[in-house]
């Protein structure tokens, strides 16, 4: 759905890879987690707590909370505000988070 | 110029409830609303319908509040049938948490005084074990709680929207952006004047919260209200873990958790500060330690509308009959009786007689 504007530059092969639901996702330094996932063709990041429908990042600036994911075991993280880093383990956020 | 049976000044929870009640009882009503830039208490409200301990020492206020709590289910049902969204009304009962035996003794005293005042409300004391059975996640610092099945909660924003929408669906005229600057008394009624126009009505009800004090004096009424700031913190959405209303933590139907609230004298400053928000978070984490890992997404300040004794004012002007003062700080709890009883009564041109002890004369200094 999304393509990068800078087509020319190749992805650096220096281990810029994160894990999303078991798949290896390459990204560029400076990408947010949401941008990395969208660029890799992943748009189903979570399911709504209200009607369980699939959701994708919407505002990309920290306002809408549509891009919530679990990052390294921490639930409800705003992927558009989190810089991607190598080795991150990302999972979909299924509904509302749990406590404890 | 437009002419109505009743002008309601103030489109917040109190005004919207009165207007809805009067319009659905058959009056032709206009609701004048300054708009969202006004100091609107409904916007910042915690959303409790809280009866345990309300009006202790003031039997008429206690009876009126308890009555409001008892008719809330019927009110919520009628309102919910008229709109397509969930106003978030739930009546699971309310818990007031205690961190010490001394605090528990104070709650026992509230129960005794409620009985002495003839309050017909079931309030019980839960010890640590009782409470743990209800709420496994409760913290060790909580020694007990008082519980009343009459307490409930609601989304105050959805309640306001439902009243405004229901009022208009019933044929009422809603005028947003209409800030009343003056009220002119005329031979056969009143005229509410804004910078851009005016509206005439046979009767007028002032329900403009903190904005009503100045207008009241123009029609021979006294509404000595002052602001009291309350701050509230809200978290991200969390899977339901708190199926009760409580005095300091409320989980909304949508899953967010509200932590409230402060009582501050800051004039008309409705801002926020970090120490207050931190104190609210600390209390919440003492009650539910797991909440300390929750993310706060927002906090806000809002101004309560306080009379000198904290009780409502319901009064008809002696000098200008047909002009009414209606104000209180419990706009959510009392919404049911404002809508179902005072509104229809105003449609007939009077206040319910049993509310005669709520006039502002009680603030005057009496000399024997």
Residue of A nearest to B253 (CA): A50
Q: In 3D, which of A95, A90, A99, A2 has the Cα closest to residue A43?
A: A2
Q: Which residues of A touch B236 (CB under 8 A)?
A: 65, 76, 97
Architecture of domain B226-306: 2-Layer Sandwich (3.30)
**How much of chain A, in percent, has pLDDT values that exceed 90?**
78
In angstroms, the CA B174 to CA B195 distance is 17
Residue ranges of chain B with per-residue pLDDT less than 70: 1, 366-368
Domain boundaries, chain B: 3-52+157-225+308-363, 94-149, 226-306
Q: Which residues of A touch B295 (CB under 8 A)?
A: 76
User: Using the beta-carbon criterion (under 8 Å), do B288 and A98 form an inter-chain contact?
Assistant: no
Burial class, A3, CB count within 10 angstroms (exposed 0-12 / middle 13-18 / buried 19+): exposed
Q: Tell me the sheet residues that pair with B198.
A: B193
Q: In 3D, which of B304, B348, B313, B330 has the Cα closest to residue B21?
A: B348
Task: Tell me: pLDDT of A14 over 90.
Answer: no
pLDDT in tens, B26-69: 999 999 999 878 888 888 899 999 999 999 999 999 999 999 99
In angstroms, the CA A77 to CA A63 distance is 13
Give the model's pLDDT for residue A15.
73
Name the DSSP letter for residue B341: I
Give the model's pLDDT for residue A49.
87
User: Using the beta-carbon criterion (under 8 Å), do A76 and B241 form an inter-chain contact?
Assistant: no
Element (DSSP H or E) covering residue B11: none
Which domains occur in chain A, in start order? 17-94 (3.10.20.440)
Give the model's pLDDT for residue B366.
65
> DSSP 3-state assignment of B132?
helix
Give the model's pLDDT for residue A13.
54
Question: From the candidates B238, B259, B289, B297, which should be mutated to test the interface with A, based on the most A CB atoms within 10 A?
Answer: B238
Give the model's pLDDT for residue B36.
78
Q: Which residues of B touch A100 (CB under 8 A)?
A: 137, 290, 293
Is the domain spanning B3-52+157-225+308-363 CATH 3.30.300.30? The answer is no
For strands B94-98 and B48-49, give the pairing.
unpaired
For strands B323-327 and B313-316, give the pairing.
antiparallel
Average pLDDT score, chain A: 91
Give the model's pLDDT for residue B133.
96
For the entire predicted model, the pTM comes to 0.92
Q: Which residues of A touch B293 (CB under 8 A)?
A: 99-100
In angstroms, the CA B15 to CA B294 distance is 36
pLDDT in tens, B205-216: 999 999 998 999
């Amino acid at each position: 759905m999304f393509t990068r504007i800078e087509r020319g530059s190749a992805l650096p092969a220096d281990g810029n890879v994160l894990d999303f639901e078991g798949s290896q996702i390459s990204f560029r330094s400076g990408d947010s987690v949401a941008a990395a996932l969208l660029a890799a063709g992943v748009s189903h990041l979570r399911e709504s707590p209200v009607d369980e429908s699939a959701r994708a990042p919407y505002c990309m600036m920290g306002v809408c909370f549509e891009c919530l994911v679990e990052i390294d075991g921490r639930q409800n993280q705003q992927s558009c505000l989190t810089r991607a880093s190598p080795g991150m383990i990302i999972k979909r956020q299924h509904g509302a988070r749990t406590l404890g | 110029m437009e002419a109505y049976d009743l002008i309601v000044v103030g489109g917040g929870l109190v005004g919207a409830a009165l207007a809805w009640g009067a319009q659905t009882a058959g009056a032709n009503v206009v609701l004048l609303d300054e708009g969202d830039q006004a100091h609107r208490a409904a916007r910042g409200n915690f959303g409790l319908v809280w009866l345990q301990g309300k009006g202790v020492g003031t039997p008429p206020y206690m009876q009126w509040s308890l009555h409001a709590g008892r008719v809330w289910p019927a009110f919520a049902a009628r309102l919910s049938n008229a709109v397509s969204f969930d106003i978030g009304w739930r009546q699971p009962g309310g818990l007031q948490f205690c961190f010490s035996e001394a605090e528990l003794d104070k709650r026992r005293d509230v129960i005794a005084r409620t009985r002495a005042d003839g309050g017909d409300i079931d309030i019980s004391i839960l010890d640590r074990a009782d409470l743990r059975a209800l709420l496994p996640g409760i913290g060790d610092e909580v020694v007990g709680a008082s519980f009343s099945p009459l307490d409930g909660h609601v989304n105050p924003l959805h309640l306001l929207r439902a009243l405004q929408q229901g009022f208009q669906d019933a044929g009422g005229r809603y005028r947003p952006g209409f800030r009343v600057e003056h009220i002119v008394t005329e031979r056969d009624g009143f005229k509410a004047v804004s910078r851009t126009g005016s509206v005439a009505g046979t009767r007028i009800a002032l329900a403009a919260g903190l904005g009503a004090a100045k207008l009241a004096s123009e029609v021979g009424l006294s509404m000595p209200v002052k602001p009291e700031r309350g701050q509230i913190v809200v978290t991200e959405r969390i899977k339901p873990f708190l199926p009760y209303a409580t005095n300091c933590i409320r989980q909304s139907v949508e899953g967010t958790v509200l932590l409230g609230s402060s009582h501050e004298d800051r004039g008309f400053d409705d801002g926020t500060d970090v120490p207050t928000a931190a104190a609210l978070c600390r209390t919440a984490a003492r009650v539910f330690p797991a909440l300390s890992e929750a993310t706060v997404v927002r906090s806000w300040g809002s101004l309560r509308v306080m009379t000198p004794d904290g009780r409502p004012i319901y009064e008809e002007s002696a000098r200008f009959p047909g002009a009414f003062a209606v104000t209180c700080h419990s706009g959510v709890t009392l919404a049911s009786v404002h809508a179902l009883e005072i509104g229809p009564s105003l449609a007939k041109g009077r206040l319910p007689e049993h509310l005669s002890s709520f006039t502002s004369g009680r603030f005057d200094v009496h000399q024997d």
